[in-house]
């Protein structure tokens, strides 16, 4: 990244997206006072339906009108996403209590539609957060990017049970490591061969549910082996926010 990025997980980002450029990268996510003061979860008193009441800065979780995830239309097979990765990216994979997250070292970029964006982190949800025509996938991976102003673009990749996928081995290994470990990911290698997509304006899918996030969700799922999905689910399962109303937004198939 052009300036050092924070190692705070997306799941606890404060309202100002500018915090994505701050602390030194390379160490695993850490617990913050923000975490301790307003605990949230996927069940019980801290479940998604209560997020908006847990803290003032979480109000958008209940009152926002452009919330994520959403139910996406059935695949239509339109234009392919114009995405070029920078090749293998090094970083640290660690469990932040809500998911297993890869935090990229500085300098990792992805070109999307010709615009260079900084790869910030990659994390997963099991099952998926976005649904397609009402159906959830086995898992979903979020490739979080930021531009120079800190505005976020998240590329969502759905995953289904199938053949073992070596491109995900290093990330999945982080789910079983028990502590932060050095890892390498290759964004392009982790995407499906067919890259038609749906895009819309949404939000973070976890508190504080900040809006203004550009979502690009690939229509075709990748396959992961039963062993790979099993390792992810053993670390976190059911860590998915329910779909939110689309409202007056439009889901498009072009950037």
> In the 8-state DSSP scheme, what is residue 196?
B
In whole angstroms, give the CA distance from residue 78 to residue 2.
33
Q: Which residues lie closer than 8 Å to 255 by C-beta, 6 or more apart?
A: 81, 82, 112, 113, 199, 216
Number of Cβ atoms within 10 Å of the Cβ of 62: 15
Averaged pLDDT, 45-62: 96
Tens digits of residue pLDDT in 150-166 = 999 999 999 999 999 99
Question: 71 pairs with which residues across the strands?
Answer: 131
| pLDDT averaged over every residue in the chain | 86
pLDDT at 36: 38
Of these residues, 98, 125, 142, 145, which one is catalytic?
Answer: 98
Beta strands 152-161; 222-224: pairing state: parallel
At 12, is the pLDDT very low, low, confident or very high (cuts 50, 70, 90)?
very low
- The single-letter DSSP state of residue 233 is H
Share of the chain above pLDDT 90, in %: 80
Tell me which H or E stretch contains 170: helix 169-177
Of 187, 182, 174, 96, the residue nearest 145 (C-alpha): 187
Q: Which domains does the chain have, with CATH numbers?
A: 10-235 (3.10.200.10)
Closest CA to 158 of 109, 188, 110, 124: 124
Confidence band (pLDDT; 50, 70, 90) for 195?
Answer: very high
Angle, CA 92 vertex, CA 170 and CA 187 arms, to 5°:
55
pLDDT at 13 over 80: no
* Dist CA 95 CA 106 (whole Å): 20
Q: What is the pLDDT of residue 1?
A: 37
Rounded to an integer, the average pLDDT of 221-247 is 97
Give the pairing type, strands 131-132 and 139-146. Answer: unpaired
Sign, CA dihedral 189-28-56-151, equals: negative
pLDDT at 134 over 50: yes
The model's confidence at residue 176, banded by pLDDT at 50, 70 and 90, is confident
Q: What is the pLDDT of residue 4?
A: 38
Query: Which has more pLDDT, 21 or 212?
Result: 212
Sheet of 131-132, strand order: 71-72, 131-132, 135-136
- The answer to whether 98 is a known catalytic residue is yes
Query: 3-state DSSP call for residue 200?
Result: strand
How far apart are the C-alpha atoms of 168 and 225, rounded to whole Å?
A: 10
Mean per-residue pLDDT, 113-118: 95
pLDDT digits (tens, 9 = 90+) for 14-34: 333 333 322 222 223 333 223
190 band by pLDDT with thresholds 50, 70 and 90: very high
Is the per-residue pLDDT at 89 higher than 90?
yes
Mean pLDDT value across residues 86-109: 93
């Amino acid at each position: 990244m052009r300036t050092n990025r924070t190692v705070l997980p997306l799941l606890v980002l404060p309202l100002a997206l500018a915090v994505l450029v701050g602390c030194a990268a390379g160490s695993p996510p850490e617990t913050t006072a923000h975490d301790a003061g307003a605990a949230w979860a996927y069940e019980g008193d801290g479940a998604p339906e209560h997020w908006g009441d847990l803290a003032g800065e979480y109000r958008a979780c209940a009152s926002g009108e452009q919330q994520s995830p959403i139910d996406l239309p059935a695949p239509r097979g339109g234009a392919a996403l114009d995405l070029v990765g920078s090749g293998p990216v090094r970083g640290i994979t660690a469990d932040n209590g809500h998911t297993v997250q890869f935090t990229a070292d500085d300098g990792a970029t992805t070109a999307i539609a010709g615009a260079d964006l900084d790869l910030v982190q990659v994390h997963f949800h099991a099952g998926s957060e976005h649904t397609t025509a009402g159906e959830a996938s086995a898992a979903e991976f979020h490739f979080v990017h930021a531009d120079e102003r800190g505005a976020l673009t998240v590329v969502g990749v759905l995953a289904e049970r199938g053949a073992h996928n070596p491109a995900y081995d290093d990330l999945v290994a982080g789910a079983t490591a028990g502590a932060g470990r050095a890892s390498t990911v290759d964004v392009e290698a982790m995407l499906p061969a067919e890259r038609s997509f749906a895009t819309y304006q949404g939000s973070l899918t976890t508190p504080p549910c900040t809006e203004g996030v550009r979502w690009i969700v690939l229509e075709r799922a990748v396959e992961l082996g039963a062993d790979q999905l099993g390792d992810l689910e053993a670390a976190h399962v059911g860590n998915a926010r329910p779909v939110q109303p689309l409202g007056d937004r439009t889901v498009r198939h072009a950037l």
